[in-house]
Amino acid sequence: VELRFRGSARAKWREIGWKTETEHEKEEIYFDDRFCLWGKVTADGRWESREVLNRGRHLFPFQYKLPDGIPCSFEAPEASIRYIVHGALVRVAGTNITTKKIVTVLRDLDSKRDNERKSPSSRHVLEDHAERTFSTSCCRPSRVSCSLCVLKRSYVPGETIHADVQIHNMTMRKSGPCKLQLKQLVTYGENHCVPIILQELEFHESARQGQRRQWKNLSLTVPATCPSKLSKCRVIDLRYCVALDCDFGESNLYAAVPITIATLPERGIIPVRWSYQECSLDFGEDEVKYSSSDDGFKPKYKYYEELRDIRKDKYFVLKLRQSPGAKRRLMINEGESRTDSDAMNESKA
C-alpha cells in the first residue's frame, strides 16, 4: 500500500499568428513524494518482497507536511494549480487498485502588507477615462467618452464593489448595452492573457445620440474566488479588474481599473460571519471545451457573508465639568442641609 503526494501547476494555450498556430504547454512541480504505508521497499523505491494483506478492513493513518511557499489552489480554462493525493494497492494478480483525492491549499493575502510600492493604497480612489472617435463619409468625426471611478482598490470575497460611471455620446450613432464587469485576468506564460467575467451588471440598455448620463453607486458583489497574485508560481499569473464595456457595433468603448482580491479585510472592517464556498467554474459557452475541471473539482475559498465597517460607527463624547452622579449627590446634600437648618430655626422659635 503506497501513497503519492503531488503538487504542480500547469497551463496550456494557443497563440495564433499569421498563417501559423503554436500550441504551448508549461508545467511546474512543487513536490512529488511517494511513501509506503504497508510492505517493504528498497532504497530506490522498488518492492523488496510481496506481502499478503489479510482479509478484512485495515486502517493506515498517515500525515504529510506541505512545503512552505507553495501557491494557492486554482482552476481556469486549460490551466490549474492542483494538489493531489494518490493511493495504490499493489496486487499480486490483476491490476492495481488506485484512488485519488484533490485537496485545496489556501494562502492568505493581506492588502495592508502588499509589497507593490507603486500601487496606490487600499483607500485610494481609482479612475479611468476612455474616448473613441467615429467618422462617416458625410459627417465630420465625432467622439464618445466614458469614465469609471472605483472608491478603493482592495476587496475580499463577499464585499460589494461600488462604482461611478459617466458616458457622453456625441456621435450620430446609438450604442448597445452598457455593462459593468468584474473580470479575472489569467496570464499564461509570459504574455498570453485570458479574461474571465466573474460578475456582470447591465445598467443601461443604450446610449442615444447626444446623451450624457451619470450613474452613481453601481454595485457588484465579489464571489468566492482565488486571491490575487499567485505567489511563487511562474506558470500562471492572476489579476482582477473592474471594467466598463459599451457596445458600438464594430467597436467597443472600454475602460478598466485594477483591483486586488485579498483574503483578509482591510483595517476598520470586522468579519462577522464567513465560510468556505466553492468557486464558480462557469467560463462561458465559448470556453467550455477548454475547461480543465473535467473531474468536477472546485476549490473552496473564504467568503465573508457579513462584514461590519466600524469606521461608519459614530460616537459622541460629552465633556461635563463633573459627572452626573457627583452633581446629584451635591444637590441631595444641599437639600438635606437646608432641611436641617429649617428644623433648627423652628426649634429655636
- Give the number of C-alpha atoms closer than 13 A to the C-alpha of residue 52, restricted to the C-beta side: 3
Question: Same structural domain for residues 152 and 84?
Answer: no
The answer to whether residue 329 sits within a structural domain is no
Helix (H) or strand (E) holding 141: none
Is residue 244 classed as helix, strand or coil in its secondary structure?
strand
Question: Same structural domain for residues 95 and 122?
Answer: no
Average pLDDT over residues 71-85: 93
Question: Same structural domain for residues 6 and 39?
Answer: yes
Question: Same structural domain for residues 152 and 39?
Answer: no
Which of 38-42, 131-135, 204-208, 273-277 comes out lowest in average pLDDT? 38-42
- CB atoms near residue 22 (< 10 Å): 9
The residues that bridge with 187 in the sheet, in sequence order, are 193, 237
Candidates 161, 111, 117, 159; CA nearest to 262 is 111
Contact in structure between 60 and 38 (CB atoms under 8 Å)? yes
Percentage of the chain surpassing pLDDT 90? 40
- What letters, b where the CB count within 10 A reaches 16 and e where it falls short, cover 110-122? ebeebeeeeeeeb
What does the pLDDT read at residue 292?
46
Question: Same structural domain for residues 70 and 131?
Answer: no
Q: Which of 247, 264, 281 is the last residue of a domain?
A: 264
Question: Same structural domain for residues 123 and 253?
Answer: yes
Q: 320-326: long-range contacts (C-beta < 8 A, 24 or more apart)?
A: none
Dihedral-angle region of residue 94 (phi above 0 means left; psi in -120 to 50 means alpha; beta otherwise) = left
Number of domains in the chain: 2
Contact in structure between 32 and 64 (CB atoms under 8 Å)? no
pLDDT (tens digit per residue) in 41-76: 776 666 666 677 788 888 888 899 999 989 999 999
Question: Same structural domain for residues 181 and 91?
Answer: no
Candidates 166, 171, 174; CA nearest to 143 is 171
Distance CA 272, CA 158 (A): 12
- Report which listed range, 35-39, 203-207, 297-301, 308-312, is most confident: 297-301
Q: Which of 75, 103, 131 is the last residue of a domain?
A: 103
Distance CA 39, CA 342 (A): 104
pLDDT (tens digit per residue) in 212-270: 889 999 999 999 999 998 888 999 999 999 999 988 877 788 999 999 999 999 888 88
Candidates 251, 259, 78; CA nearest to 153 is 259
The answer to whether residue 308 sits within a structural domain is no
Distance CA 134, CA 172 (A): 9
pTM: 0.79
Is residue 295 classed as helix, strand or coil in its secondary structure?
coil
Question: Same structural domain for residues 79 and 199?
Answer: no
Distance CA 314, CA 144 (A): 43
Q: What is the extent of the structural domain holding 92?
A: 2-103
- Give the number of C-alpha atoms closer than 13 A to the C-alpha of residue 82, restricted to the C-beta side: 21
Question: Same structural domain for residues 95 and 152?
Answer: no
- What letters, b where the CB count within 10 A reaches 16 and e where it falls short, cover 231-241? eebebbbbbbb
What does the pLDDT read at residue 334?
74
Candidates 71, 63, 77; CA nearest to 35 is 63
Question: Same structural domain for residues 180 and 208?
Answer: yes
Read off the CATH number of the domain in which 40 is found.
Answer: 2.60.40.640
DSSP string for 93-127 = SSPPEEEEEEE------BGGG---TTSPPTT--EE
